[in-house]
A and B are shown apart, each in its own frame.
Chain A
Amino acid sequence: MFRMILWKEWKENLWKLLFCGVVSAVFTIMLFRIRIIPDVSNCLVISFIQMFVVPIVYSLDIFSGEMSNRTIYLLFKIPVPRWMIFFSKFIVSAFGIVVIFLMSSILMEIMAQGREAPILYLSGINMLFGAAALLLFTWFCPFGCQSRSEAGSLAIMFSVFIGWAIVLVWALSCNVAWAARMVPYSFILALDKDFNLVEGGITQIPLFILALVIACYRYVSIRRYL
């Protein structure tokens, strides 16, 4: 049954993968061909935009779509535990985000051909941004899983972006290292040699699980549609 739900989510969200994939590919090819700015800057610009746009595209209707289309009544009547429904949505979105970043990082390496930056350097940057994007999307889930409209989801996603940005600015300005490591954006700080990527990763894993557990609990406990 889980496979069927997974398949349903995959079919419903395939256009997001196509959209983000095509747009990322087109802009990567274009910017790396015209080369007005250096390859590393191109990579940073593309990755930075991807980090915000890809989670937004996935978050817009992943949960709220079922409610605004009123299909949630049908979905909740299927004899499947609700946590499976939640995880099918999350897994499909997370897979899509990973594939998009993986594809764009490979494309960047192909386009740059190591002419200005060492091989795998650009893809490394892009994947760090990808990890941040995945974490941001994960943090959207606890707050957005009960959202009823696209506008609500959008507002929640922006709140997550801004909220973590405020935490990051505070942590960096007050030199609170442990707080800086908690922020999803901290993966980008790994570009700086002073930041320990392993420590950051270790801090992020429990937070990632915590966010998922809370999101799952909130999704399971939706009452108003029963």
Chain B
Amino acid sequence: MKTSSSQALLRLLQAHFGKLWLLVVYLFLYGPLLFLILFSFNSTRQDAVFTGFSTRWYEALLNDSRLVGGFFLSLKVAVITGTLSTILGTFAAFVLVRYQRFRGRSLFSGLVSAPLVMPEVIIGLSLLLLMVAVQHAIGWPERGATTIVLGHTLLGMAYATVVVAARLREMDRTIEEAAMDLGCRPLQVFFLVTLPNILPSLVAAWMLTFTLSFDDVVISEFLSGPGVTTLPQVIFGYARRGVNPSIYAAATILILTVSTGIIAYSILTMRAQRRRERDAQAAVLAEIRSVEENVGTA
């Protein structure tokens, strides 16, 4: 009797093991975030006990000029970093994918991807030394937003190169030859054919490098100047001095913004994909019908 009930339990466990495992993984991934969102609505400073619902930390957030200032600085830095990284990364990717043979290619390839594996602390420290030396020599750049952007772009460019190169590699090269065949000079080929076709990867690279820059602490910490602090730096500073639920509120706003963006983007691409499939199917059906008609009349 006892063995049969334990066997039944075992069977139940086996049947639902996949779902259970999924639940555990989701909890592991999103549990902390849910916890954070919950406590951003806590009515007191307590971070272990939920004492009641309130939006006071959101109000406090709006009045906290350091957090708000940090947010706008991070936004500015991330937008510029994303743009610069994507432009430089696209050039680097183009050279790496399209010119398989030139002197120093493997060195260049190594140098482009080195920041991906280099510890950020070392990148930050070495950049700090470099910036200080350069500033000493030519009076520029002063440590602040500019130096942070330069540092982030170094890292971002490496990521952008990887993303754009992957798309360039899988792109059908014959459409570039077709463009040349139809009278395009090489530069026209790039802007009229290559660029529109790798655009999705440029958008992806921009979003990736934007995010990378927006939540970077290490490089910002090394390269920021007096009075210049990005949002992650402000949050770190607060966390070091004890709990401030305003940070939870800020984090919740960020999470909601990002997830809304991602969900909207996925819905849009999914719809476009479905429309494409439907159209392709309709075209094939039309062709079959026309063949059949031709056979019928012949």
Partners in one complex: no
Interface residues of A (CB under 8 A from B): none
